Chain A
Amino acid sequence: MDLKLKIWRQANQNSKGELKDYNIKNVSADSSFLEMMDQLNEELIEKGEDPVVFDHDCREGICGMCSLHINGEPHGPENATTTCQLHMRKFKDGDTIFIEPWRARAFPVVKDLSVDRGAFDRIIQSGGYVSVNTSGNTLDANALPVPKADADEAFNAATCIGCGACVAACPNASAMLFVSAKVSQLSLLPQGKVEAKDRVLNMVNQMDLEGFGNCSNVGACAEECPKEISLENIARMNREYLGASLASSK
């Protein structure tokens, strides 16, 4: 198929970007979206032009590295799918495709379609961990009884790959779905309960420091999430934050 691409080109964080038009021919319907981008870059390199920078890694939909705001939606038109798992058969011959980076103050553009998602790393560093005994007497994981329902909920939250589609989709550029998934996956389990109060306070505080917007319960994040993280996590984090604010020793 032949396509018309409108791709955001931006030399670096400080320069002003713009949409540039590209025509690409003979794209296989079986290729993935990123393979189509590879094909475009091959052509650009052969012509001696600067290839389009975009993030990617595993291309299996599990690493959270790929992004791209495609035709007005994070990860494109298909539900519960990352950009790398999106296939060109979802588009028609002659389509015009807008390709933009995630847009948020907290995610500055590095180049073209690649954004710096270091804000997520700093949020994790602020509390997204459990302190464990590493003296050699580590308790066997199965020795701690965990109710099946809790284990399932924690696992569902833990499927968040931290891609940032929730921020990209949110009209407020809020990171609440990501942070609440990370808070939930730990606080639901006995190992995570010990530090639960400080964790939620620290992670929410870091989220605000990074300059993400506020949650107004629009729900676009959960709709666009490639891993279908539920809004129940945000409610759980709100509950924990309220409780921790009132009861924290800090």
Chain B
Amino acid sequence: MSITGLFLISFLIVHLLGNLQLLDLSVEGQEKFNVYAKFMTTFPLIKIVSYVLYFSILFHAIDGIALARQNRAARPERYKSWKPNTNSIWASRNMGLLGVIILAFIIMHMSQFWYTMHWGPIGTDAQGNKDLASVVITTYQDGTAGMIFVLLYVISMAAIAFHLWHGFASAFQTFGLNHKRYTPFIKKLGYGFSVVVPLLYAIIPVYILMAKN
């Protein structure tokens, strides 16, 4: 869980830096984004990394489900009185639930953009590149459906935030990296990351929706 988790964390940074380009909604900005999208889907090194990424997502999900099943089986009879909030935070105990929400989001997100980018239907921009920017903008500006997609996006980012709130530092503990000198820093870094990164992601569709009028 920790190896794939840390890899997925690194993916979040790269993906965010690319997608922040969508905050420039001018024609030139959209064309720039389409050039970037073309590069990301055709450059061989990125292609290899993308297969590692698909594998990591699947492994992280399947391994997570397998562990959750084992953990459930380890306590067949539940407590009648159970006060877990006195000894742990909610997110740490609900990584599976948060993971399912995130996985559902990834499926929706990839079918909306990744699938369309590869197999269409998708138009081309003035430079002749596949016009992914328009697909994104249309998705989030398309009336009620657009608003629902923005809402689902924001909820999913909240799920990722809670997932990372526990997951970031937890990955280091699993590797055995726990030390009085640097663990407090890792924890703070994790909390900061889990707030800032999902927030920046969430700003993108909200900004696109608000730019409609």
Residues of A within 8 A of B (CB): 6, 8, 17, 19, 69, 71-73, 77, 98, 100, 103-106, 169, 171-174, 211-220, 223-224, 231-232, 234-240, 242
Contacts and interface: CB of A to CB of B under 8 A. Distances in A.
Contact of B81 (A100, A169, A213): A100
B173 A217 contact: yes
Contacts, number: 109
21 contacts: A6-B80, A71-B83, A72-B84, A72-B86, A73-B86, A77-B86, A169-B87, A171-B75, A171-B93, A217-B166, A217-B169, A217-B173, A217-B174, A231-B173, A232-B178, A232-B179, A234-B178, A235-B177, A237-B176, A238-B174, A239-B176
Q: How large is the interface on B (under 10, 10 to 19, 20 to 34, 35 or more residues)?
A: 20 to 34
A216 B71 contact: yes
Contact of B176 (A104, A105, A174, A235): A235
Given A100-B80, A171-B71, A223-B86, 20 more contacts: A17-B77, A72-B79, A77-B86, A100-B81, A104-B74, A105-B73, A171-B75, A171-B88, A171-B93, A173-B74, A212-B74, A213-B70, A217-B166, A220-B84, A220-B87, A220-B88, A224-B87, A235-B176, A237-B176, A239-B176
A19 B92 contact: no
Contacts of B88: 171, 218-220, 223
A104 B70 contact: no
Contact of A172 (B74, B83, B166, B177): B74
B74 A106 contact: yes
Q: Is the interface of B mostly helix, strand, loop or mixed?
A: loop
Contact of B76 (A17, A105, A237): A105
A149 to B, nearest CB: 11
Nearest to A109: B77
Contact of B87 (A105, A219, A234): A219
A211 B74 contact: yes
B95 interface: yes
Interface string B96-118: 00000000000000000000000
Nearest to B170: A217
B87 A19 contact: no
Nearest to B180: A232
B56 to A, nearest CB: 18
B82 interface: yes
A101 to B, nearest CB: 9
Contacts of B78: 103
Nearest to B80: A19
A103 B75 contact: yes
Contact of B173 (A19, A73, A174, A234): A234
Contact of B75 (A71, A173, A219, A231): A173
A73 B80 contact: no
Given A171-B71, A214-B70, A216-B71, A238 B176 contact: yes
A73 B87 contact: yes
B152 interface: no
